Amino acid sequence: MKKELVLCVHKNQLNKSLTDIPDEGFALISREFVESPELGTTFVQAIGCLLLIREDHKVFSYSRKGSEGRLTGKKSILIGGHTTLEDLTGDYKIIEKGDDKDTLYKTNPVWTAVMKACQRELEEETGIETEGLAHLGKVLYTTADEVSSVHVGYCFGWIAPMDKEIVPSEETNNYEWLTKEEILADIDSYEVWSQMAIDMIRSKAENAPAT
């Protein structure tokens, strides 16, 4: 069976926004290999995460069903997934067993590939097609659980028109549009990255200029 190759980020780049990471900070590695003890803790898998907000400021929320089995049952406000070979353009080096682990993946520019992966996931999970997304600059990384410790998330956003039709996938067919207050009241039900994104929403709301 062919191994799935995904975009990964060197751990010494985790304190940087996606658009600030140099080419040498990325690698293309099989999902099986990047989580193996053989590679160690050098890289984590890069995930594009989309925050979908409607024009009335309500947030898209759903309960996870098993696309990532370790998070099944947790609520989420993020849509996203891995950046794969189909999203990438430019020159690249695939890291496999026996390869020089300092020979890294290069693409130009990487952040647009991560955005493309987000757009693909958005269409798969909601039926929404977009020409572009807003890069929010938020980095999601924590060692709080097994899943989070081997992934890093980069946040994008999109504002959905009130009349935009949602065609949910099996993963998101229990979706609902919630106010920020409703989400904050139930924050403990959300997976850890969503909790971090909720904190970002709360911080932006608290620091927004009075109208």
Contacts with 24 (C-beta within 8 Å, 6 or more apart), sequence order: 10, 104, 106
Q: Which pair of tokens denotes residue 32?
A: 């099986």
The pLDDT value given to residue 97? 46
DSSP string, 127-150: ----S--EEEEEEE---SSHHHHT
Q: What's the gap between Cα 70 and its chain centre? A: 16
The predicted structure's pLDDT at residue 100: 44
Q: Check if the beta carbon of residue 177 is closer than 8 Å to that of residue 59.
A: yes
User: 67: helix, coil or strand?
Assistant: coil
* Burial class, 138, CB count within 10 angstroms (exposed 0-12 / middle 13-18 / buried 19+): buried
pTM for the complete prediction? 0.83
For residue 131, what are its two tokens? 């020409």
Q: Give pLDDT, residue 106.
A: 43
What string of pLDDT tens digits covers the 211 residues of the chain? Answer: 457 889 999 999 999 999 899 878 888 888 878 877 665 568 999 999 999 999 999 999 999 876 555 666 789 999 999 998 888 765 555 555 444 444 334 444 788 889 999 999 999 999 999 988 999 999 999 988 877 888 999 999 999 999 999 999 998 989 999 999 999 999 999 999 999 999 998 887 777 666 5
